[in-house]
Amino acid sequence: MPIVAGDVLDGRFELERSAGSGGMGVVYRGVDRESGALVAVKTVRSAGGAERFQREVEILAGLRHPGIVTYLGHGSVGDELYLVMEWLEGVDLAAHLVLAELAVGDAVGIAVQVASALGAAHRQGIVHRDIKPSNVFLVEGRPDRVKGIGKRDWVDHDPDYDSLRDDPRFQAMLSKLA
């Protein structure tokens, strides 16, 4: 039986409504019954992408930074897997840019905050390979989180990055950005 709105996962995460869907599954808006906080619950059919999804869970669970979406839990129901994250209320940078241009100061502020989040991931050996406006989330016009965690986006111990990471010039640049 598939996961649907109204379900309660792990006795804790109550799914309110579908917030979107893609080729791999559905994202639901829900509420954490323990904290009362809104949550995003991403689901995927295990037959279609269990290995990729598990890698996404492992990477996100290990990352802690105020600029990276927060992992809250994961599990499975029948043949569906789910990942619970904090709910983000706002718009991604791509959607924002359709409506309005960014002032230079705002663009610099976004770049600095995104670099800080990416620097935190890099220090843990994680490289985001798909940083783009749709993976930068804005709240009230300000950068809030980097999203888009997945096998194609985040690569653990990328060989090109490993050699670059050992370069002292690259280390100095990361230190300045963080």
- Positions marked active-site: 130
* Interacting residues of 84 by C-beta distance below 8 A, sequence separation 6+: 9, 13, 30, 32, 39, 40, 41, 71, 72, 73, 74
Q: Which helix (H) or strand (E) holds 108?
A: helix 104-123
From residue 118, alpha-carbon distances to 105, 121, 130 in Å are 20, 5, 11
